[in-house]
């Protein structure tokens, strides 16, 4: 599986528990487990799965998140699955006509991190593929979580719901981006990436500016002396915005030098022809 290092399937620290209520297909349980593994969720509880448990299709659909499938616990009822929890989030897209706070997945992520940091045990409820959670099941939760989706097409599948909640839980505590490989570490964060090089120093950048100015002068680029200062500022600002690396500055200087040599050879050839004539 691309993007997966199966040697690193160790259990992570305290995290919300994912509770799937009456899931129908083993494949959906497996893809939900895969989504959990993406974002540091590792405890899965199943309430009355339709096709029984264990389920081989759940294991094969987990794409390597087998440790989550193998450690999943089976429960006959939702209250039994929630007995040791302190706080419960119920995911649903439909209005329920009950007096209960509604928050977004992003708000839930902040709240879950705060509660887990205080030592609380929290769970996230995910409903059936076709009908979701019942009102009676939602009444066992402390808060409803509803995503800001297209109201005309609001249904998302179990794995998508788990992925969305897992992302919001994990994003602010993630130390890196993406995958670590044997050749390269995971990315430290968003922004300019400079593998095998570094940002150019001002000395290197100013050296390029000086070279470029000299060659443009020699080529007659600056038509009048009064416009030259403004044109130089524009050129410097252009390259300053590019956040050039040391390698890029060396490449640019090489380009300018190559063009200069070509023009010099052409001038010398013309001079020889004129002299010979």
Domain annotation for the chain: domains and CATH numbers: 14-170 (3.40.1280.10), 202-276 (1.10.8)
Task: Quote the pLDDT of residue 195.
Answer: 72
pLDDT at 197: 77
pLDDT at position 185:
65
Q: Which of 94, 152, 153, 80 is nearest to 128 (CA)?
A: 94
Q: What is the per-residue pLDDT for 7?
A: 40
Q: What is the pLDDT of residue 128?
A: 92
Distance CA 93, CA 91 (A): 7
pTM over 0.85: no
The answer to whether 46 and 73 have CB atoms below 8 angstroms apart is: yes
pLDDT of residue 189: 62
| Residues of the chain scoring pLDDT < 50 | 1-2, 6-7, 9, 11
pLDDT, position 176: 67
**Cis-peptide, bond into residue 54, ω within 30° of zero:** yes
């Amino acid at each position: 599986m691309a993007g997966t290092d199966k040697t690193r399937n160790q259990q992570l620290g305290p995290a919300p528990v994912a509770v799937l209520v009456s899931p129908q297909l083993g494949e959906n349980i497996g893809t939900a487990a895969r989504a959990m593994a993406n974002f540091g969720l590792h405890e899965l509880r199943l309430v009355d799965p339709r096709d029984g448990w264990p389920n081989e299709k759940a294991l094969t659909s987990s794409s390597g998140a087998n440790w989550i499938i193998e450690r999943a616990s089976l429960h006959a009822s939702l209250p039994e699955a929630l007995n040791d929890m302190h706080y419960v989030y119920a995911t649903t897209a439909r209005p329920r006509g009950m007096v209960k706070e509604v928050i977004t997945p992003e708000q839930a992520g902040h709240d879950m991190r705060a509660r887990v940091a205080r030592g609380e045990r929290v769970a996230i409820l995910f409903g059936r593929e076709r009908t979701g959670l019942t009102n009676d099941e939602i009444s066992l939760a402390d808060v409803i979580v509803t995503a800001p989706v297209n109201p005309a097409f609001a249904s998302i599948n179990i794995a998508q719901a788990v992925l969305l909640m897992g992302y919001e839980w994990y994003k602010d505590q993630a130390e890196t981006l993406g995958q670590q490989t044997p050749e390269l570490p995971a990315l430290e964060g968003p922004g300019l990436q400079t593998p095998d090089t570094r940002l150019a120093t001002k000395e290197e950048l100013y050296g390029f500016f000086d070279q470029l100015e000299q060659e443009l002068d020699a080529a007659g680029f600056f038509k009048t002396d009064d416009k030259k200062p403004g044109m130089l500022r524009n050129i410097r600002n252009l390259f300053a915005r590019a956040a050039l690396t040391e390698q890029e500055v060396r490449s640019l200087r090489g380009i300018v030098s190559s063009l200069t040599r070509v023009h010099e050879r052409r001038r010398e050839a013309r001079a020889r022809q004129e002299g010979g004539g």
